[in-house]
Amino acid sequence: MKKILLFLLMGCMLAACSEKPSGPYVVAHRGYWKTDGSAQNSISSLLNAGRIGAYGSEFDVNLTADGQLVVNHDFTYHGLEIAATDFATLHDPSLTLANGELIPTLDEYFEASLAYPDMKLVYELKSKGEPEYEALALPATVEAINRHGVASRIEFISFSLSACVEFAKLMPDNVVEYLGGEIAPAELHEMGITGIDYEYPVFYEHPEWIEEAHKLGMVVNTWTVNQEEDIRKLLELGVDQITTNEPELAAKLIEEFKAAKKK
Ligand code: MG
């Protein structure tokens, strides 16, 4: 009898060890950059997100004129339009991020992410919706994802509806979240899109969209939620992911939220 109990106990302990923390989850917006020596969308911000155990690190990707995918939020970098500029020009040593890093290539970013292989990579394709641009950027995205073996870690987000629809076709096993905020989940679901990632005031106006999305098996993410009051409110509303510039605060509030639910 004692042996059986011991066996059962060991089984439970093993299960507890292998179990991943359940959601809601924290996504570090543009990585975790609000720390010494870091910068938005830098390799450092990605590694910081991994170090604090964030569920995911969000980052923004643009395509250069000569076909290089680079990590940067704006369509411009130091005043240069990325889509109209060759990579070598953008990668000039005089042009740096706030922490001194050069603009990261997507390849460098994926390579660095291997240090934290359990962390999701929340990939935002920056696009103005131009078909010629997306016809290049989407296949290049999929090629890079597969070449680095990170497909299982990618959650794709974009303000471009056409990019979301296309990515969902190219990588049907991956979560794809539309960012725009103006379309009801059921309509997106019909297009093959599997998640919504809306600016948080949208959910104050349309709290019913969260349940609607969940009933369709869609993921609900929200951005960019930095204030304690809003984080608490969105957790109560039932979102799955909180995208934030304050990932440590959000993690603490999620733990408190989960503990309160258990009582
Ligand atoms: Mg972004």
Whose CA is closest to 60, among 136, 159, 134, 149?
A: 159
Of the pLDDT bands very low, low, confident and very high (cuts 50, 70, 90), residue 234 is: very high
194 Cα to the center of ligand 1, angstroms: 18
1 Cα to the center of ligand 1, angstroms: 56
- Give me the mean pLDDT over the 43-69 stretch: 98
208 Cα to the center of ligand 1, angstroms: 25
CA dihedral sign of residues 26, 159, 234, 226? positive
Residues 62-86 pLDDT 10s: 999 999 999 999 999 999 999 999 9
16 Cα to the center of ligand 1, angstroms: 34
257 Cα to the center of ligand 1, angstroms: 26
- Give me the mean pLDDT over the 234-259 stretch: 98
Cα 185 from Cα 181, distance rounded (Å): 10
Task: Give the model's pLDDT for residue 9.
Answer: 53
Helices marked H in 43-184 — which ranges? 43-51, 87-90, 106-113, 131-148, 161-170
Task: Give the model's pLDDT for residue 14.
Answer: 47
218 Cα to the center of ligand 1, angstroms: 20
259 Cα to the center of ligand 1, angstroms: 30
156 Cα to the center of ligand 1, angstroms: 11
Q: Is the pLDDT of residue 93 over 70?
A: yes
196 Cα to the center of ligand 1, angstroms: 14
Whose CA is closest to 26, among 227, 254, 213, 207?
A: 254
Task: Give the model's pLDDT for residue 263.
Answer: 83
Domain range list for the chain: 24-262
93 Cα to the center of ligand 1, angstroms: 25
179 Cα to the center of ligand 1, angstroms: 9
45 Cα to the center of ligand 1, angstroms: 13
Whose CA is closest to 157, among 131, 132, 126?
A: 126
Residues 176-220 pLDDT 10s: 999 999 999 999 999 999 999 999 999 999 999 999 999 999 999
Superfamily (CATH) of domain 24-262: Phosphatidylinositol (PI) phosphodiesterase (3.20.20.190)
205 Cα to the center of ligand 1, angstroms: 22
Q: What are phi and psi of 203, to 5 degrees?
A: -80, -20
Burial class (CB in 10 A: 0-12, 13-18, 19+), 59: buried
Give the predicted TM-score (pTM) of the model. Answer: 0.93
63 Cα to the center of ligand 1, angstroms: 15
106 Cα to the center of ligand 1, angstroms: 14
